[in-house]
Amino acid sequence: MSGHGTPIPMTSHPCGPLSGVADVPGDKSISHRSLILGAMAVGETRITGLLEGEDVLDTAKAMRAFGAEVTRHADGTWTVQGVGVGGFAEPEQVIDCGNSGTGVRLIMGAMATSPITATFTGDASLNKRPMARVTDPLALFGAQSVGRKGGRLPMTIVGAADPVPVRYVVPVPSAQVKSAVLLAGLNAPGKTVVIEKEATRDHSERMLAGFGAEVTVEDTDEGRVITLTGRPELKPQVIAVPRDPSSAAFPVCAALITPGSDVLVPGIGLNPTRAGLFTTLREMGADLTYENERTEGGEPVADLRARYSPDMKGITVPSERAASMIDEYPVLSVVAANAEGVTMMGGVKELRVKESDRIDAMARGLRANGVTVEEGEDWWAVHGLGIGNVPGGGTCESFLDHRIAMSFMVMGMGAQAPVSVDDGSPIATSFPIFEPLMGGLGARLERT
Ligand SMILES: O=C(O)C1=C[C@@H](OP(=O)(O)O)[C@@H](O)[C@H](O)C1
Ligand SMILES: C=C(OP(=O)(O)O)C(=O)O
């Protein structure tokens, strides 16, 4: 769990071409859901390609605490012996979800309609993040919660003994909230309806259907209406977790800003609810192509080929695209600093309640490295200096946020002087092989 260990200061030195193949790890969102749904199925789910990052390992531990048997085998395969919907045992210890918003919010949903009590905590970052967005809808099912002021962890959830299904309009664009409600709905008799005004990543809907639940999705004037029939028997699955587009973003963006680069990132999911960054980069003029386009496990997949792109231009990123690239704004701002003109990013208030306030964290670090940034509550604008013109030379705080740390490491690769972060340890939450992978492409990362 990040934030509990010793900080790892890191420096990224300007480097020559990045080249080769970047095999990024499994998708974090799908990995969490594989373990949780596996634990709620009856029988053995087998998972290959699971992301073995700290966030997901914390979810694996949590599923064991709720009574599922979760095993990592010598060949890297994971199995989950599920206890069935409504079969969770009461954990004997506090559930520590480390740095992971997805982990804690989905697990709270999954246990909230069982007659058990669980207490959740996390690291210093997670314990600052808002949980009322999940406990408010869980209360409608009949679950109770007591946490710290402002709905913060540590927090205890008393699951509903006699849950009722709910109809809930999600007030913020959040796949975590949507998923918490759907997972709670699994053990409520009757139909639970979740409505989202903006489409967010749809892994929960797809995977619930894959596990045999009855789920329908309808686009209406009110928004995307998802209807789940409660109390199914979930059937165990064989899951091959696809590679994470949010991790692919780092070698892709690094290649775009580092002279002479040519990097292939194979097998990346281009599910439209996740692929907004790649569309945006292409609009900016990035030399980013999709090769070998195919369908895998019902999802569009391609090998991404990213080459040095000295002529990128700043653009206004459409607000309605925000949900499909919400975790990629930090690294996009690094590319924006290397483009000509201003990149305007609006409709992104959610960035302020991630592992850090990501607008603030990036603005501080970009400014410390010679880049001008303007910001408001739900927007920010990066004034591009043109390729290779980012001075660098600064040290940035990562605020216990993996994406902030990795974004500044990428910035150093194309800057005029090295860029440092005070703590790269959070990188292990989502991308444990970031250093060897980027080093293998030619990056010069150093623990300092
Ligand atoms: O459901 C998920 O797997 C996720 C949803 C998003 O969070 P929000 O639901 O807070 O937008 C995203 O930022 C996070 O990395 C993963
Ligand atoms: C926001 C993120 O994760 P989480 O909310 O699961 O902590 C992320 O990985 O960028």
Q: Is the CB of 59 under 6 A from ligand 2?
A: no
What is the C-alpha to C-alpha distance for residues 126 and 215, in angstroms, rounded to an integer? 31
Query: Residue 1 has what pLDDT?
Result: 46
128 is in an annotated binding site: no
Q: Is the pTM of this model over 0.90?
A: yes
DSSP sequence for 235-300:
PP-EEEPPB-HHHHHHHHHHHHHSTT-EEEEEEEE--TTT-HHHHHHHHTT-EEEEEEEEEETTEE
28 is in an annotated binding site: yes
Asked if residue 161 lies in contact with residue 142, where contact means CB atoms within 8 angstroms, the answer is: yes
Query: Above 0.90 for ipTM, yes or no?
Result: yes
How many alpha carbons fall within 13 Å on the CB side of residue 364? 14
Query: Residue 296 has what pLDDT?
Result: 84
Paired tokens of 383: 């004034």
Which stretches in the chain have pLDDT values below 70?
Answer: 1-4
Query: Residue 2 has what pLDDT?
Result: 46
Interior/surface letters 190-221, b for 16+ CB within 10 angstroms, e for the rest? eebbbbbebbbbbbbbbbbebbebebeeeeee
Query: Residue 4 has what pLDDT?
Result: 56
What is the C-alpha to C-alpha distance for residues 77 and 30, in angstroms, rounded to an integer? 15
Nearest ligand 1 atom, CA 326:
13
What is the C-alpha to C-alpha distance for residues 428 and 55, in angstroms, rounded to an integer? 8
What is the C-alpha to C-alpha distance for residues 83 and 116, in angstroms, rounded to an integer? 14
Helical axes 28-40 vs 54-65, angle rounded to 10°: 10
Q: Is the CB of 305 under 6 A from ligand 2?
A: no
User: What single letter denotes the amino acid at residue 262?
Assistant: D
In order of their start, the domains of the chain are: 10-26+242-447 (3.65.10.10), 28-228 (3.65.10.10)
Nearest ligand 1 atom, CA 106:
1
